Structure 1
Amino acid sequence: MRATARSFAELQPLRRALAEAAAQEAARAQAAREAAQRAARERHLFAHSVGPVQPLKGGANRHSAPPAPPDPKPLQRVQDEQNVLREAMSDEFDVSTLLDVDDQLSFRRPGIGVDVTRKLRGGHWSIQRQLDLHGLRRDDAREALGEFIRLAHRTGLRCVRIIHGKGLGSPGKTPVLKGRVQAWLVQKKEVLAFVQARPMDGGAGALVVLLQPGKLRVAAP
């Protein structure tokens, strides 16, 4: 009996160890089942949220959003601006009475002294931009000149050059555009004065134009 009791006593720790191992294994199995259930719920979260769905057949009931309409073009505004340019620079304007009577027929607006045209002719102001009207028809040249002067003034330029050509390729070899360009420039309020360019700047085939001071416009961010 003593040997048997001693044997039973020696088995108790083993039984406890087996029971603890079984409990741990059961806990791990339970944790694995719970993890699998969570993963399944996450995979089917959308289906659980919205419930049963039925796919569309043939796509007949599908709705496609129409494409966004293009931005409207300001055609009327562009046409109005072009009309203003044409009306502001008439071909019927007589510029001869406003030009200084000299060998270069310079122009200065009332209130502008002779020293201004003298400085302009001498290169006192650097030429910042130029417009070449070679090969343009009358209406195209007038529109290009008006737009050029307007933009030059808006961006703060003071001195520009207008190349009208010497007319060597025109019938009679006369500068057809020269007189028109002079008349157009006189009608532009942005123009303070102009003179015939120096030989190095184009001579009789170009004019150097002094513009009123303008404020440089910077686009808002």
Structure 2
Amino acid sequence: MKLNSLQDLKQVQKKLADAHAQAQAQAAAQAAAARQREAESNLFARAVGVVQRISHPDPVSISPPAPAPVASQRQKDEKAVLRDSLSDEFDASTLLDTDDALSFRRPGIGRDVTHKLRKGDWSIQREIDLHGLRSDEARLALAEFIRLAHRQGLRCLRVVHGKGLGSPGKTPVLKSKVHSWLVQKNQVMAFVQAKPAEGGAGALVVLLKPAD
């Protein structure tokens, strides 16, 4: 390239300077990009600091799961049912009064109690109908009925056992068993045969002791 004048020399120098500046700018941009990539790759390390590998980690102790909550009231109820188990072999016939209408009263309970019970001085608060139940079903149902009624503070109940007309030989088997079961229940103070309008010979009106 032939330089004809000083002006041409200055133009060449300018082009060289521009090329050098452009090369420097490109190199600076590449260096900045490299530093950015390095910074991003080391971001986690800078955030958590120095990390050391654990060569023999200690075993983790896992506590056993907490036991399920105990239904204490259900356990008490189940124990009460076992405690109140009724026997079919108990003979209550000698403890029953068989005057004009069958009745029972605990020792120490006056005849006036059964007299008032028969007259209806206590209002019947709840009843259970044992019709159609097998003997073992009726026994458990009656025991549970008496226990819950006493716990709720009820005093006067009606127990419907039927007259036994549908039993083989028309013998009132369930009726006599209900008498025996009620006598065995400590919560029962007295019971009488229901009035005709309340079931007559097929039901009993039962008086419970006051709840504790």
Which TM-score applies when normalising by structure 2? 0.64
Counterpart of 2:101 (choices 90, 100, 104) is 104
Residue 144 (structure 1) aligned with residue 174 (structure 2): no
1:162 and 1:194 mapped to 2: Cα distance?
Answer: 10
Paired residues of 2:150 and 2:211 also in contact (CA < 8 A): yes
| Equivalent residue runs for 1:89-128 within 5 Å | 89-128=86-125
Q: Report the equivalent of 1:211.
A: 208
Letter matched to residue 183 of structure 2: V
Q: How many angstroms does 1:95 deviate by?
A: 0.3
Contact residue 100 and residue 106 of structure 1 kept, 8 A: yes
- Report what 1:85 is aligned to: 84
What CA distance in whole angstroms lies between the structure 2 residues aligned with 1:203 and 1:77? 36
Deviations 1:30-57 (A, max 9, x none): xxxxxxxxxxxxxxxxxxx99xxxxxxx
Mapped to 2, the partners of 1:116 and 1:82 lie a distance apart of 28
**Superposed displacement of residue 79, structure 1:** 5.4
Per-residue Cα deviation, 1:67-117 (whole angstroms, up to 9, x for no partner): 99875667876654443232xx21111101101131322101111111111
Match of 1:197 in 2: 194
Measure how far apart 1:165 and its partner are.
0.6
Q: What residue is the counterpart of 1:5 in the other structure?
A: none
1:122–1:83 distance in 2 versus 1, CA, 3 Å: same
Q: How does 1:1-221 map to 2 (within 5 A)?
A: 80-86=79-85, 89-215=86-212
- Percent identity at matched positions? 68
Compare CA radii of gyration and give the structure with the larger one: 2
Runs of 5+ unmatched residues, structure 1: 1-48, 51-66, 216-221
Unaligned residue ranges in structure 2 (runs of 5+)? 1-46, 49-64
